[in-house]
Structures are given as structure tokens and as C-alpha cells.
Amino acid sequence: MSDGNLSPTVRPVLRTMRFIHASVLMGCLIFAGIAIVLRQQQGGPVPEPPMLSFVGLALAGSTGLALLIVPNAVAASWRKKIARGISSLSTMPMPDPASDSGQSIGWWGLYQSRLIITAAPMEGVVFLALHAYLAEGPPWILGVGALFFVGLALLFPTQDRVERWIRTQQELVEQEKRTIL
């Protein structure tokens, strides 16, 4: 996790991504602790059928499918805009597609946006699963929440992961430029 070879402009971006990621994970863990303790204290039978838990399961399925499509579709849209010379985010400097260093603040900002776009729905599934467990008590819904929590934890932004994503995006931008011409 050494950030020593990062430029001073992107080091804070990586730190911010890690802070966002840790905050999301900690929020889930804190609510999990509260939900489990409160459910153990209040007890009670699991309602038949546990509708909120079924809604959580449906949300988990639809979110899982959306996560297979949406982050990549958003990145593809950004690449097309960058290839055409249109800034993809008005508040962020435009990534330099020719830069091979992966140190462009624009690319790092796009990765941060992608991280948030991916993490937020996963966090929502975890929270709904925990709420369903708290309200209804079926233990299997904790498994659904745990699955999405693990997926969320695996999103941890490392320098290597971000730079690898940036290199891939830069190559795809170059391919997109060739198709435009």
C-alpha cells in the first residue's frame, strides 16, 4: 500500500477513495452489530412469509445484475467522451488519453466516481438485508448482506488496481479514437 511513487496531485485522491471505502464499510459493520444485538434482544418468530426479506433478496438480485452492467456502461460513456475531446465531468480536469503514467488527476477522479457508483448500491443491499433481519429475523438474509459486504470490501482501492484500470481505459480510448476516424 505504498503511495510513495504517486504524484502529489493524485495521492490525496487515493487517500480520499480509501476514506470513502472505509466509511462505507464501517457504516455497514456498525449497523450490523446494532441489528444483530437488537434482534437477539427482541427475538420473536419470523413472520410467514418474511416479505421484507424477500424484497431484500429481490433487490440483491437486481443490484447484482445492475452492477454487471452499469459501471462498465458508465466507463464506456466516459471513454467515448474523452476520445471525442469532450470533458466527461465538468468539475474535473479532462484526462489526458495520451498519458501513459496513470498519474492524470482526471483518470483518478473517474475511478473514484466509478468506485462510488459501484459501492453505493452494494451498501444499500447490505443495509436493507440488515433492516430485514432486524425487523423479521430470518438468518438467511444476513448471508445475503454478508455476500454484498464481502463484495464491497473487495473494492478496496489500491494504487496498482487504479493504475491498471487507468491503463485499460487509456487503451480503450485509443481504440475508440481509431473507430471515430
152 inside domain = yes
* pLDDT tens per residue across span 114-158: 999 999 999 999 999 999 999 999 999 999 999 999 999 999 999
For residue 127, which of 150, 140, 155, 146 has the smallest C-alpha distance? 146
Q: Which long-range contacts (CB under 8 A, 24 or more apart) does 34-38 make?
A: 35/130, 35/131, 35/133, 35/134, 36/133, 36/142, 38/134
Confidence of residue 100 (pLDDT cuts 50, 70, 90): very low
65 inside domain = yes
User: For residue 102, what pLDDT is reported?
Assistant: 53
Integer angstrom CA distances of residue 101 from 14, 81, 104, 107: 15, 20, 7, 11
Higher pLDDT, residue 98 or 132: 132
User: For residue 95, what pLDDT is reported?
Assistant: 54
67 inside domain = yes
User: For residue 101, what pLDDT is reported?
Assistant: 53
pLDDT, mean of residues 93-117: 74
- Rounded CA-CA distance 69/141 in Å is 24
pLDDT greater than 90 at residue 6: no
- Residue numbers of the domain that contains 71: 61-180
- The whole model's pTM is what? 0.85
21 inside domain = no
5 inside domain = no
pLDDT greater than 90 at residue 93: no
User: For residue 103, what pLDDT is reported?
Assistant: 56
Domain count, the chain: 1
87 inside domain = yes
9 inside domain = no
* pLDDT tens per residue across span 23-82: 999 999 999 999 999 999 988 788 889 999 999 999 999 999 999 999 999 999 988 888
